Amino acid sequence: MTPTVILTRPKAQSESFAADLMARWDGPIEIIHSPLIEITPVAVSITRPDAVIFTSANGVIASGRLGLPSGLMAWCVGPKTAARAQEAGFVPITGPGDADGLAAQIIAARPAGRLAHIRGRHTGANLCARLNAVGITCEDVVAYAQNALTLTSEARFATSAQKPVIFPLFSPRTATIFSRQAPFGPPVHVIALSHAVEHALAAGIAQSVTVAQRPDGPAMVDATLEVIAAQLGRSCLG
């Protein structure tokens, strides 16, 4: 019985993840798109920084409203965010995939000038505070909100059936919102981007929680495919 994978990120990110899954799997996968957050802009002003920090692609998108000049250096959490920043006219430096690792990378480099972290209202790591504490000037720029959504009727039906359900979760915020949707009927298996995401889950909400080997998209695809394969009693294809 093929498990159902419910994707909870905003549409564009979920569609990209679904395409990566399908490219790596040789059988059918039932995929349901049910975003648990809605990105909405927040009115904000910004003094021109010497460089920016992006911990998500949503920050890059939000930066388009801020009137920043082309060619600014951008410290980016991972490869996909860096690619989006480059498309938007920034000069990206690619981080290791998580905010803690990016903070360590910036601290090691000790860039001069003033940085601006363009981020959402909800964040798991106070990156600017860490940088300011070591003498690197950083301004928090809250440019969008991540409003909570509930599961769609299709996703809710899947979580009341008997087939196993797999939820890849990419942020502590999403894990918290997901936990509020309980209880669920079938066995639920969560793939968490990081231990921070794992710790945001309500206790006992899932039959299993798998933390990705690295806090990035490819590792999340790997972990999701491994759980699908385990549910079907077969080996995972590369």
Q: Tens-of-pLDDT digits for all 238 residues of the chain?
A: 678 999 999 888 899 899 999 998 888 889 999 999 999 999 998 989 999 999 999 999 999 999 999 999 999 998 889 999 999 999 999 999 888 899 999 999 999 999 999 999 987 678 999 999 999 999 999 999 999 999 999 999 999 888 899 999 998 889 999 999 988 988 899 999 989 899 999 999 999 999 999 888 899 999 999 999 998 876 555 4
Same domain (yes/no): 108, 173 = no
pLDDT recorded at residue 163: 87
Residue 137 buriedness (CB in 10 A; 0-12 / 13-18 / 19+): middle
For residue range 55-64, list pLDDT tens digits in order.
999 999 999 9
List the CATH number of the domain containing 129: 3.40.50.10090
pLDDT recorded at residue 85: 97
Same domain (yes/no): 107, 169 = no
Same domain (yes/no): 45, 131 = yes
The residue among 128, 146, 164 that closes a domain is: 146
- Cα–Cα distance between 100 and 106 in angstroms, integer? 10
- Cα–Cα distance between 134 and 104 in angstroms, integer? 11
Same domain (yes/no): 153, 224 = yes
Averaged confidence pLDDT in the chain: 92
The residue among 100, 123, 146 that closes a domain is: 146
Same domain (yes/no): 13, 56 = no
Find all residues with CB under 8 Å of 64, minimum gap 6, and list them. Answer: 88
Same domain (yes/no): 86, 171 = no
- Cα–Cα distance between 171 and 188 in angstroms, integer? 18
Q: Is 79 left (phi over 0), alpha (psi -120 to 50) or beta?
A: alpha
Same domain (yes/no): 50, 138 = yes
Helix (H, G, I), strand (E, B) or coil at 98: coil
For the CA atoms of 177, 182, 186, 190, the dihedral, rounded to the nearest 10 degrees, stands at 30
Query: How many distinct structural domains can be found in the chain?
Result: 2
- Nearest residue to 166 (alpha-carbon basis) of 158, 176, 157: 158
Same domain (yes/no): 121, 167 = no
For residue range 157-216, list pLDDT tens digits in order.
999 888 899 999 998 889 999 999 988 988 899 999 989 899 999 999 999 999 999 888
pTM of the model: 0.84
Same domain (yes/no): 14, 76 = no
Domain assignment of residue 107, yes or no: yes
Strand partners, 119: 142
Chain centroid offset of residue 202 CA: 19
**β-pair type (91-94, 115-120):** unpaired
Phi, psi of 96 (to 5 degrees): -85, -5
Domain range for 112: 39-146
Same domain (yes/no): 88, 118 = yes
Same domain (yes/no): 50, 103 = yes
The residue among 97, 112, 146 that closes a domain is: 146
Across 201-231, b (16+ Cβ under 10 Å) vs e yields: beeebbeebbbbebbbbbbbbbbbbebbbbb
Domain assignment of residue 238, yes or no: no
Domain assignment of residue 131, yes or no: yes
Domain assignment of residue 163, yes or no: yes
